[in-house]
């Protein structure tokens, strides 16, 4: 492909060299650069891509996209200076794959909690409605029936456009994608054409990266600010930041709510372990998903399907038969009737939501035992709060490790313990080894009790000291309950 064809939509501040040259591939990681590649020098959180420019030229890169042009230029290499390399990367990756996002209907889902659930149910729904569909999510990516493992919630622009390109080749009409706040700030979605955007909710998370709640809010809002007039913007107005998302968008605005008037409205009639019974847009429907937060997720899915011009009754019929995403309120019942729930709740708000859901549907006499840890190299301020929420809403709590990553697991646990009030101390245990923590909970539980294993959901690994080893909360639960999978 010719470099000049990739530059459509890129604002060039300075050009040194020719644009009439053939390029092989795009790359933002020096370690992967090959002959005739374009190298994007991105300023990151750990490193500055500009420091690797010489190395990539030695490896054969012939085009350098950068924010500062090096003093010593190499002959026959084209240097293009731009304001922000991340933005150029998004736009050029889109051009490289022939703008696949414009060839299908791409809908992005953002918010602190519920993105995977909403995107996954939308994917399952549209497949059930007979469409070829794509999914880009935290758990896995799908090109219709083909699974592609996921490394991030939102992939980098090259991987993202390559996946969209494969979806177009496979004949997909729709793609549902989770848009993380990191992805917005790092311009991973730059250059994409969205047909719609959905906002779930906003609460405490990722303050390690965004520093303040306001910056975090702005990151989510920037996604809506960038939508075209032809797109829809669907927001949850029961969330106090729901309307803020729509303030500056050019897209057409639609709302959903359980507690007030909105374009798409539902009321919870019953909320039990067997599922949700809702009045949704004046139709009485039973759903397999559990918990009031899932009423919001279902309503977001329903609203999106309506905005994508699907038939109301067919949508509700298919939706009522669907299950949620793996590791989201995923439950197993032991032979002696202990209920074990694996849930990906890893923010204070999500932990409170899942525990209040359990409170709403429990019968009253049984114990709720929660096992919870917090990830390393992530927002530290949520640690004591998550421990506090777990204690306030459970009869017993076992604090343990999540993915310590490069941090000392004991330090994380100690930071969580700060949130345990003196009155809550007697119901709290700390067991560093997560497997042992789960085993202990299973030994403590009696018939009828509910065990919540929070934080890791679908994850099939535990990362300690930077090394990932196989670990699966649900698998351990099956072992402890003597059940076959
Ligand atoms: C904090 C964060 O988001 N980091 C992402 C970011 O890395 P970074 O900015 O730290 O990059 P860096 O290491 O400073 O390097 C800067 C540049 O130099 C380049 N480099 C670096 C070293 C080298 O030898 N050669 C070289 O060329 C790098 O490729 C990069 O382009 O850009 C990288 C390339 O796209 C990502 O892989 C990386 O994701 C890390 C692994 C990560 O864990 N991200 C998480 C926090 C994340 O993105 N999570 C969200 C979901 C969160 C949620 O909602 O729950 C997600 O969308 O997955
Ligand atoms: N609408 C919601 N409101 C509040 N909590 C929710 C909602 N939906 C799901 N949750 C809770 O949050 C957890 C994570 O849900 P989900 O994976 O759908 O969110 P996510 O936004 O994709 O998270 P991540 O950013 O980590 O990918 C669930 O396990 C559940 O406990
Ligand atoms: N997408 C989130 C997942 C957190 C899941 C939790 N198990 C942890 O490891 O902290 C993140 O990367 O911050
Ligand atoms: Mg997700």
* Residue ending a domain, choose from 35, 68, 96: 96
For 182-209, the pLDDT digits (tens) are: 999 999 999 999 999 999 999 876 777 7
Strands of 290-347, DSSP E: 330-333, 339-343
Which residues are annotated as part of the binding site for meso-2,6-diaminopimelate?
A: 378, 402-405, 455, 459
* Start-to-end C-alpha separation, the chain: 49
Give me the pLDDT at residue 377, please: 95
Confidence category of residue 373, pLDDT binned at 50, 70, 90: very high
| Same-domain check for residues 67 and 173 | no
Residue among 350, 354, 456 whose CB has most ligand 2 atoms within 8 A, to mutate: 350
- Indicate whether 92 pLDDT > 80: yes
* Residue ending a domain, choose from 96, 113, 144: 96
| Same-domain check for residues 89 and 150 | no
| Same-domain check for residues 141 and 61 | no
Residues 458 and 124: their CA atoms lie apart, in Å, by 17
- Indicate whether 88 pLDDT > 90: yes
- Indicate whether 89 pLDDT > 90: yes
Question: Quick one: which ligand is closest to 113's CA?
Answer: 2
Give me the pLDDT at residue 365, please: 86
Is the separation of the CB atoms in 100 and 61 below 8 Å?
no
Give me the pLDDT at residue 382, please: 95
For 398-421, the pLDDT digits (tens) are: 999 999 999 999 999 999 999 999
Residue 139, domain extent: 98-321
| Same-domain check for residues 81 and 150 | no
Which residues are annotated as part of the binding site for ATP?
A: 111-117
* Residue located nearest, by CA, to atom 10 of ligand 1: 45
How many domains does the structure of the chain reveal? 3
| Same-domain check for residues 204 and 288 | yes
Residue list, ligand 1 pocket, CB within 6 Å: 28-31, 42, 44-47, 49, 52, 152-154, 156, 180, 182-183, 209
Summarize the confidence of residues 346-361 as an average pLDDT.
92
Q: What is the CATH number of the domain that holds 292?
A: 3.40.1190.10
Question: Quick one: which ligand is closest to 179's CA?
Answer: 1
* Residue located nearest, by CA, to atom 29 of ligand 1: 29
Cα 303 to Cα 45, 49, 131, 306, 390: the distances in Å are 37, 42, 18, 5, 32
Confidence category of residue 220, pLDDT binned at 50, 70, 90: confident
**3-state helix, strand and coil shares in percent for the chain, rounded to the nearest 5:** 35, 25, 40
Summarize the confidence of residues 20-47 as an average pLDDT.
96
* Residue located nearest, by CA, to atom 22 of ligand 1: 47
Summarize the confidence of residues 323-340 as an average pLDDT.
92
Whether residue 200 has its Cβ less than 6 Å from ligand 2: yes
Residues 113 and 289: their CA atoms lie apart, in Å, by 15
pTM of the predicted protein model: 0.92
Higher pLDDT, 361 or 62: 62
Q: Which atom of ligand 3 is nearest to the CA of 153?
A: 1
The alpha carbon of 435 and the centre of ligand 3 are apart by a number of angstroms equal to 18
Mean pLDDT, the chain, whole residue set: 96
Long-range contacts of 467-473 (CB under 8 A, 24+ apart): 471/434, 471/435, 473/327, 473/342, 473/434, 473/438
Question: Quick one: which ligand is closest to 93's CA?
Answer: 1
| Same-domain check for residues 123 and 78 | no
Place of tokens 């709740």: 345
Summarize the confidence of residues 451-476 as an average pLDDT.
97
| Same-domain check for residues 357 and 430 | yes
CB atoms within 10 A of CB 481: 17
For 98-149, the pLDDT digits (tens) are: 999 999 999 999 999 999 999 999 999 999 999 999 999 999 999 999 999 9
| Same-domain check for residues 316 and 349 | no
Q: Which atom of ligand 1 is nearest to the CA of 151?
A: 58
Place of tokens 């372990």: 273
* Residue ending a domain, choose from 288, 321, 354: 321
* Residue located nearest, by CA, to atom 7 of ligand 3: 456
Give me the pLDDT at residue 325, please: 86
| Same-domain check for residues 364 and 451 | yes
| Same-domain check for residues 112 and 251 | yes
Long-range contacts of 380-384 (CB under 8 A, 24+ apart): 380/208, 380/415, 381/204, 381/207, 382/204, 382/205, 382/207, 382/347, 382/348, 383/412, 383/415, 383/416, 383/418, 383/419, 384/415, 384/416, 384/417, 384/418, 384/419
The two tokens of residue 39 are 């190298």
CB atoms within 10 A of CB 31: 9
Listed residues: CB within 5 A of ion ligand 4 = 115-116, 138, 153, 178
Give me the pLDDT at residue 134, please: 98
Residue among 27, 39, 155, 182 whose CB has most ligand 1 atoms within 8 A, to mutate: 182
Return the percentage of the chain with pLDDT > 70, whole number. 100
Q: What is the CATH number of the domain that holds 435?
A: 3.90.190.20
* Residue located nearest, by CA, to atom 13 of ligand 1: 46
| Same-domain check for residues 384 and 290 | no
Beta-carbon contacts of residue 14 (< 8 Å; ≥ 6 apart): 69, 79, 80, 81
| Same-domain check for residues 40 and 109 | no
Summarize the confidence of residues 323-349 as an average pLDDT.
93
The alpha carbon of 180 and the centre of ligand 4 are apart by a number of angstroms equal to 8
Place of tokens 């080893």: 469
Residues 237 and 240: their CA atoms lie apart, in Å, by 7
Confidence category of residue 272, pLDDT binned at 50, 70, 90: confident
Long-range contacts of 440-443 (CB under 8 A, 24+ apart): 440/398, 441/369, 441/371, 441/396, 441/398, 442/338, 442/340, 442/477, 442/480, 442/481
The alpha carbon of 182 and the centre of ligand 1 are apart by a number of angstroms equal to 9
């Amino acid at each position: 492909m010719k470099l000049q064809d990739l530059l459509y939509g890129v604002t060039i501040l300075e050009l040194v060299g020719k644009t009439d040259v053939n390029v092989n591939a795009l790359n933002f990681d020096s370690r992967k650069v090959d002959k005739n590649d374009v190298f994007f020098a991105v300023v990151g959180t750990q490193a500055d891509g500009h420091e690797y420019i010489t190395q990539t030229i030695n490896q054969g890169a012939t085009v350098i996209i950068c924010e500062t042009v090096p003093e010593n230029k190499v002959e026959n290499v084209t240097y293009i200076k731009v304001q922000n390399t991340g933005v150029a990367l998004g736009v050029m990756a889109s051009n490289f794959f022939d703008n696949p996002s414009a060839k299908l209907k791409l809908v992005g889902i953002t918010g602190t909690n519920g993105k995977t659930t909403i995107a996954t149910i939308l994917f399952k729904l549209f497949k059930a409605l007979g469409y070829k569909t794509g999914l880009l999510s935290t758990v896995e990516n799908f090109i219709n029936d083909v699974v592609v493992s996921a490394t991030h919630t939102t992939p980098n622009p090259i991987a993202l456009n390559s996946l969209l390109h494969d979806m177009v080749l496979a004949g997909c009409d729709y793609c549902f994608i989770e848009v993380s706040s990191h992805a917005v700030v790092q311009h991973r979605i730059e250059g994409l054409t969205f047909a719609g955007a959905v906002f779930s909710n906003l609460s405490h998370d990722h303050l390690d990266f965004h520093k303040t709640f306001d910056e975090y809010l702005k990151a989510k809002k920037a996604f809506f600010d960038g939508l075209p007039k032809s797109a829809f913007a669907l927001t949850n107005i029961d969330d106090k930041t729901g309307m803020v998302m729509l303030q500056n968008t050019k897209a057409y605005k639609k709302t959903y709510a359980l507690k007030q008037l909105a374009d798409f409205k539902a009321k919870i009639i019953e909320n039990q372990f067997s599922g949700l019974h809702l009045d949704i847009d004046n139709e009485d429907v039973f759903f397999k998903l559990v918990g009031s937060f899932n009423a919001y997720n279902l309503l977001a899915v329903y609203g999106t399907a309506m905005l994508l011009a699907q038939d109301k009754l067919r949508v509700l019929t298919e939706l009522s038969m669907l299950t949620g995403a793996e590791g989201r309120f995923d439950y197993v019942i032991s032979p002696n009737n202990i209920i074990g729930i694996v849930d990906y709740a890893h923010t204070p708000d999500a932990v409170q939501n899942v525990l209040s859901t359990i409170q709403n549907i429990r019968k009253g006499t049984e114990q709720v035992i929660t096992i919870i840890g917090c990830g390393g190299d992530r927002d530290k301020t949520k640690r004591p709060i998550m421990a506090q929420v777990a204690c306030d809403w459970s009869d017993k709590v076992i604090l343990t490790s999540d993915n310590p990553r490069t941090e000392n697991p004991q330090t994380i646990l100690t930071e969580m313990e700060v949130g345990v009030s003196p009155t809550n101390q007697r119901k709290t245990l700390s067991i560093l080894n997560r497997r042992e923590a789960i085993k202990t909970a299973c030994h403590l539980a009696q018939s009828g009790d509910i065990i919540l294993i929070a934080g890791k959901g679908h994850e099939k690994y535990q990362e300690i000291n930077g090394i990932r080893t196989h670990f699966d909360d649900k698998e351990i639960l099956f072992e402890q309950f003597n059940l076959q999978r």
